[in-house]
Amino acid sequence: MALNDIGIDLGTTSIIIAMEGKGVVLNQPSIVAVDTRQNKVLAVGDDALAMVGRTPSYISAISPLKDGVISDHMLTRELICRFIRKVNASRIKPRVAVCVPAAITGIESDAVVEAVIAAGARQVYLIDEPLAAALGSDIDITAPEGHMIVDIGGGTTDIAVISLGGKVKSTSVNVAGNTFDDEILKYIRVKFNIAIGQRMAESLKKQVACCPELDFHGEMEIKGRSLITGLPQRLTITTDDLYEPVCMLVEQIGTAAHQVLEKTPPELAGDIYSQGIMLTGGGAQLKGLPEYMSKALKVKTRVSPDPVNCVALGTSKSLSMETRLETGFVDATPHLSHFGRR
């Protein structure tokens, strides 16, 4: 693998870039701040995140990726261009591998490739998130044995059974980290008549929320606006308060994983029973989730050693083992003639 080759986890919530031998070299939010008067990009990543909720009316903080795919091509291209230039000091154009959701369509994947080529890549590979997550978790996916990955990102949860370098069975559901944030926000609004922001909801998810199978009780003071008086208000939220919205979503992920297991060949199902299920992605850090999944699926479940970064690490690693990967890893460069590539 060339020293400047790059692996990108193009996530709904954040973009993580890794280079083999260097590890993660960039981790920033997938946000762009735009001056709508001049249609000009003011900031991206951390700088744009700092503006969220604090900008005048003519500055919009936009997330150009939704559910793991591109919703705004121009702004996504700007994000990728700026981030690749930040990590790649070489004049040599890099090879770039990008992870994509397992259920991505051809049009959506073409949009990803177009953005990366525009950012200066000489060759682009696409790898499914579950494959990348497994590689980044140090699982030997080329071996003739089954592994099950449940990758809970910001926009989607990708579930796959992997063997011999490719996917055997897989599915993708639109229940993931951002969904938990949204449901917590709505629940607080309905139950306590308090409007809180997205970042406060995310903090509640990380610090207080838990599946009921774990003996954990946390609490956190929230600050928001009373929907009754219209004035600022404080309130302490406990783990018990969040069981209802959290458990509803966790059950949907468990059901999707159960459906994949039902369709898995018996030999591979036996391997999974012996080796367990691997949880990856930022959503895998939800308290009590491994215990819940173990009980619901009757299979031991554990969290990846580095759940947040494992997809990016596996994506960068995939470039050095391309000949050993089967379904779920493709060289997209030959199909770029319609993008004007020369």
DSSP code per residue over 90-127: SSSPPEEEEEE-TT--HHHHHHHHHHHHHTT-SEEEEE
> What is the crossing angle of helices 177-192 and 198-207, to 10°?
100
Distance CA 9, CA 21 (A): 17
Task: Express each pLDDT in 257-268 by its tens digit.
Answer: 999 999 999 999
Provide the b/e sequence for 308-321 (b: ≥16 CB within 10 Å): bbbbbbbbbbbbee
146-158 mean pLDDT:
93
DSSP code per residue over 262-299: HTS-HHHHHHHHHH-EEEESGGGGSBTHHHHHHHHHTS
For residue 219, CA distances in Å to 96, 138, 147, 244, 249 come to 43, 35, 36, 16, 20
Task: Express each pLDDT in 61-71 by its tens digit.
Answer: 888 888 767 78
pLDDT confidence of residue 342: 34
92-111 mean pLDDT:
80
Instruction: Say if residue 326 is exposed, middle or buried (CB neighbours under 10 Å; 0-12, 13-18, 19+).
Output: middle
pLDDT band per the 50, 70, 90 thresholds, residue 111: confident
Task: Express each pLDDT in 8-67 by its tens digit.
Answer: 998 888 999 999 889 999 999 999 999 888 889 999 999 988 887 677 888 888 888 887
pLDDT confidence of residue 3: 65
